[in-house]
Amino acid sequence: MLYIHMTKIQDLAIYDGEIVPLKDARLSITSSAVLYGLSVYSVVYAHKAESGFILFRLDRHLQRLAQSAKLIGFSVNESLTTYELVKDQIHKLLRSTKPEASQFIRITIHAADSLPGIKTKNDKYILSIFSHEAKNIMPQNGARIKTSQWRRTADTAIPARAKVNGAYVNSALAKQDAINSGYDDCLFLNNQEYVSELSAANIFLIKDNKLITPDISSDILEGITRRSIIEIAAELQIPTIERKVALTELYTANEVFACGTSAFVSPIIEIDNRVVGDGLPGEITTKIRTILQERQSDARHEWNTLI
């Protein structure tokens, strides 16, 4: 067991199909992945239950991983992201590491050719998997966020729809600024000045008992938690509107929350020094958060894979 910045990391990883000590899962400094940030990834929540680990929407994560690879032009063999194959590898990893708590499992495809020039088509792609303790990246009693002066990368520059490692320079720039200014996270607008997302989470607002969230042409990652919340809200008969969202709509919302695999459902209580609603985690936000938690710990639900 390793600790990095107070987070417990399992010390074994899957690297190119083999289980290896984490310290030996290394990419060359000459690889496309290291030189140009050419890797695609997804993080899956694995809830620790008595019967094993419950993986939330593994199928969706693998579909998105394959789509990210395709979108940026990786000539990766489809079999690399096959559900059964990846599930087996995760099984192997969890059986070997036996984590004591719920985990975030990071699955990455790295472009691994050496000095290929600046191009996404490589001969060799490596799949890696490692896991660490599932700690929420946002405060649970209400986050404070700040609109960034950095804009979300445009779909015509680096599509946010593709979860590409290199694109996270954009998130890191904005999040560091937010932290330096004493906030928990940044809020991205896109180049049309509409609300996009946070550094690693999607955003919803609630107004008049309806959910509103930036649509998938607002330069967002098509979050799996976002989609799940829209489906859960429909079950609760709460309508969701996906559309362009202006920043001032957030300022006047009844409730605002962030969502994502590592943010779960996290209430936002302050944006740009303006208090959201009454400054406390909202009623609908709290309800959706509770239902998502229940769903993620329900081994029998069709969204989940028990390992």
- Chain residues binding ligand PMP by CB under 6 A are 43, 171, 197, 200-202, 221, 223-226, 260-261
Nearer to ligand PMP, 57 or 116 (CB): 57
Nearer to ligand PMP, 158 or 224 (CB): 224
Min dist CB 237 to ligand PMP, Å, is 23
Q: Work out the number of other CB atoms within 10 angstroms of the CB of residue 6.
A: 7
Pairing assessment for the beta strands 185-189 and 143-151 based on DSSP bridges? parallel
Min dist CB 108 to ligand PMP, Å, is 12
Nearer to ligand PMP, 1 or 172 (CB): 172
Q: Work out the number of other CB atoms within 10 angstroms of the CB of residue 135.
A: 13
Min dist CB 63 to ligand PMP, Å, is 11
Min dist CB 227 to ligand PMP, Å, is 8
Nearer to ligand PMP, 122 or 285 (CB): 285
Min dist CB 106 to ligand PMP, Å, is 10
Min dist CB 13 to ligand PMP, Å, is 20
Min dist CB 44 to ligand PMP, Å, is 9
Q: Work out the number of other CB atoms within 10 angstroms of the CB of residue 27.
A: 17
Q: CB–CB of 83/58 below 8 Å?
A: yes
Nearer to ligand PMP, 197 or 255 (CB): 197
CA distance 236 to 299: 21
| Residue 14 to residues 17, 45, 58, Cα–Cα distance (Å) | 6, 17, 17
Show the tokens assigned to 24: 């030996």
List, as own/partner pairs, every contact residues 155-159 make where C-beta atoms lie below 8 angstroms and the sequence separation is at least 24, other chains included: 155/217, 155/219, 159/71, 159/72, 159/219
Nearer to ligand PMP, 12 or 46 (CB): 46
Q: Pick from 100, 98, 110, 40: which is nearest to 70 by CA?
A: 40
CA distance 142 to 225: 18
Show the tokens assigned to 78: 């489809």
Min dist CB 12 to ligand PMP, Å, is 23
Residue for token digits 């098509």? 222
CA distance 114 to 119: 11
Nearer to ligand PMP, 12 or 69 (CB): 69
Helix (H, G, I), strand (E, B) or coil at 219: coil
Nearer to ligand PMP, 253 or 292 (CB): 292
CA distance 81 to 69: 10
